[in-house]
Chains A and B, each alone.
Chain A
Amino acid sequence: MNQIKEILNKYPKEEEYLIEILLEFQASKKNHYISSEDVSVISKYLNIPESQVCSVISFYTMLSMSPKGKYVIQVCHDVPCFVNSANNIYDKLVEELGVEDGETTEDKLFTLEITECLGRCNESPVMRVNDKVFVNLTPAKVEKIINDLRGENK
């Protein structure tokens, strides 16, 4: 609760800071989502209806109201990555994780998502794990990244 207040107090009580607040809220949580309690706290702080907060969350793909894994893996699938075998990267992730686009592994460690262009087309194919971007991927590199992350959480 203190952490929540700390975040809110950084922002003026103005509606235009809603997206900034939501992004910071979400980043502070290990499951990368905004709970309905959070929505209620934010709406009270900014003095706007909860429905307005929810409509913003549902519009932006980076914001979520359902919990995700500790690591959110986003694979780019747009043309520059697609023509550089992004399919193989996605297939490898499906094989490694046993989940598909939009799903979270049972151990709540990984969420797999297909995402829009990450603006790293000069190093395609690419994927993002939380804030970190991995470039020039091969299926072997993907396997190593996943194993390393699993190792850190043993």
Chain B
Amino acid sequence: MIEMKVISKRFGKVDPLSIDSYIKHDGYKGLEKAISNHPSHIIDEVEKSKIRGRGGAGFPTYIKVRALSKEAGKKYIVCNADEGEPGNFKDRMIMENDPHSVIEGMIIMAYATGAEQGYIYIRGEYQIAMNIMKETIKQAKDKGFLGKNIFNKGFNFEIEIRSGAGSYVCGEEFSLIESIEGKPGRSRTKPPFPTEKGIHNLPTLINNVETFANFPYIITIGGDKFAQIGTNSSTGTKLISLSGNVKKKGLYEVPFGTSIRDVIFKLGKGVKDDRKIKMVQLGGASGPIIPEYMLDMSIDFDRFENFDSKTGTGAIIVIDDRFDIFDILLTNMKFFVHQSCGKCAPCREGHIQIVNLLNKFINHRATEKDLMSLENLANVIQQTSLCGLGQTSMTSIISSLRYFRDDYFAKVRY
């Protein structure tokens, strides 16, 4: 078995709308253990676990958690459930199947850091998940896990749901903060980072849904034991959203270090109609496109960092040989034209020019000079954009220029 169910172990077994069902399946045990210890102990466990953020960037979680715990006064904890990256549905699945694990993770973090207010920012398209999370918060409140003087420990914590309204960029942390404040989601310059100046310029810790769902498990088994799962640089398990032209699309959970090929062929049962794989896009629209011969690569943050992308979300989109690389690139780039918030020029103008250049290739009107322009412009957008959107959107272009260069030359007019 290459699957290892930790975050998804309760999927289909618990009634998501029943807190008692969750408790019966060892729910809130992590919280119970957490609050019997000093808050600093929890942060130590998170550090020992070596867990890295599951939203894509793979930042070591304990650094953010410790930073927030050191800030005095009012502070916030935010669960980022604005899962807009095409090809990803893991956060939705967690919220729809085991919502209390997210709440439990948030309460543990609140206790560890001293934050008294939490938000879950859910994309507007996830109506079902939103309704479930609202009910989940109500149930946790009724049981006394949220509210004032939780477990008679003198600590208070409330969670509010905030809805997105159809904006991909709001998954980026500062855009998300702006959106929670009721404004258009246009990012801010870093530093200062959210743990210093976030919502209303107060310290804010933002983690992905899957990251929060990991905390109860880390506390239950201990950081050291958690660190033994996966690889040296990437500990624990990863939820993989497998989609595209595979026989069995779906959500799978594997320990880090599993190869992409195993996920596609052992879990996804291979390519539909037994066609050949032309390419695989990792992470989503902002992830790299790799050829078939690279599929033995393992799922690991350090490996993915070579692509400078948000590959770490764990999406695998399989594309068979009926499709041309330009079909996929154009779909991706049109997406970014639409999703750019317009605040900085490289992103706002750059994506439009990238689409123009791609169309030149598609219509066999590109020259070698256009190939150079495409390469240069992609690098400029990546290096000079203000936020994560423009800094990662070029990954598919840059990786395709590396691995599918012949496809470009085939379209060039000499």
* A-B interface pairs (CB < 8 A), number: 123
Contact of A62 among B89, B124, B320 (CB under 8 A): B124
Query: Given that A117-B85, A117-B87, A119-B92 are known contacts, is A83 also in contact with B181, CB under 8 Å in the complex?
Result: no
- Known A78-B86, A121-B249, A122-B250; contact A62-B165, beta-carbon cutoff 8 A: yes
**A75 in contact (CB, < 8 A):** no
Contact between A56 and B184, CB atoms less than 8 A apart: yes
Interface pair B163/A124, CB less than 8 Å apart: no
Would you call A82 and B327 a contact (CB within 8 A)? yes
Q: Is B216 among interface residues, defined by CB-CB distance under 8 A?
A: no
State whether the Cβ of B150 lies closer than 8 Å to any Cβ in chain A: no
Which of B85, B124, B166 neighbours the largest number of chain A CB atoms within 10 Å of its CB? B166
Residue contact A116 to B165, C-beta cutoff 8 Å = no
Least CB separation from B338: chain A residue: A116
B71 at the interface (CB under 8 A from A): no
Known contacts A62-B124, A124-B249; is-contact A80 B165 (Cβ 8 Å): no
Which residues of chain B have C-beta atoms less than 8 A from A59's C-beta? 167, 184-186, 341
**A66: CB under 8 A from chain B?**
no
Whether the pair B182, A56 counts as a contact (CB closer than 8 A) is yes
Within 8 Å by CB of A121, from B87, B181, B338, lies B87
Of the stretches A16-24, A88-96, A104-112, A138-146, the one at the interface is A16-24
Q: Are B243 and A116 in contact (CB under 8 A)?
A: no
Q: How large is the interface on B (under 10, 10 to 19, 20 to 34, 35 or more residues)?
A: 35 or more
A86 to B: closest C-beta gap in Å = 10
Inter-chain contact A83/B125, CB cutoff 8 Å: no
Confirm or deny: A32 has a beta carbon within 8 angstroms of a beta carbon on chain B. no
In the complex, the answer to whether B89 meets A121 with C-beta atoms within 8 Å is yes
Q: Which residues of B contact A120 (CB under 8 A)?
A: 89
Interface residue? A63 (CB, 8 A)? yes
Bitwise, A110-148 to B at CB < 8 A (1) or not (0) is: 000000111111111000100100000000000000000
Given the interface pairs A60-B184, A78-B87, A121-B241, the reply to whether A20 lies near B317 with Cβ below 8 Å is no
Interchain CB contact under 8 A, B163 and A20? yes
B218 to chain A, nearest CB (A): 26
- Shortest C-beta distance, B363 to chain A (Å), equals 19
Residues in chain B near residue A83, CB distance under 8 A: 244-245, 317, 319-320, 323, 328
Q: Is B301 an interface residue, CB under 8 A from the partner?
A: no
**Complex contacts, B360 vs chain A, CB 8 Å:** none
Would A79 and B166 count as touching, CB distance under 8 A? no
**Do the beta carbons of A19 and B163 come within 8 Å of each other?**
yes
Rounded to whole angstroms, the CA-CA distance of A59 and B124 in the bound complex is 14
Q: Does A55 contact B (CB under 8 A)?
A: yes
Contact of B126 among A23, A116, A119, A121 (CB under 8 A): A119
Bound-complex Cα distance A24 to B58 (A): 35
B83 part of interface (Cβ distance < 8 Å): yes
Flag whether B168 is at the interface (Cβ < 8 A): yes
In the bound complex, CA of A66 to CA of B93 (Å): 33
| CA gap between A56 and B183 in the complex, in Å | 6
- Selected from B125, B181, B339, the residue in CB contact (under 8 A) with A15 is B181
Output the residue of B165, B168, B180, B245 with the most chain A CB within 10 A: B165
Residues of B within 8 A of A (CB): 83-89, 92, 123-127, 162-168, 179-186, 241-245, 249-251, 281, 285, 315, 317, 319-320, 323, 327-328, 331-332, 335, 338-339, 341
Please, could you name 5 A-B residue pairs with CB atoms under 8 Å apart, sorted by A?
A14-B182, A23-B163, A78-B331, A78-B335, A119-B92
Q: Report the 5 A-B pairs with minimum CB-CB distance, sorted nearest first.
A: A62-B166, A60-B165, A59-B184, A61-B166, A121-B243
Known: A19-B163, A62-B166. 13 other contacts (CB 8 A): A16-B182, A20-B162, A59-B185, A61-B167, A78-B335, A79-B317, A79-B332, A80-B317, A83-B323, A116-B338, A121-B87, A121-B88, A124-B243
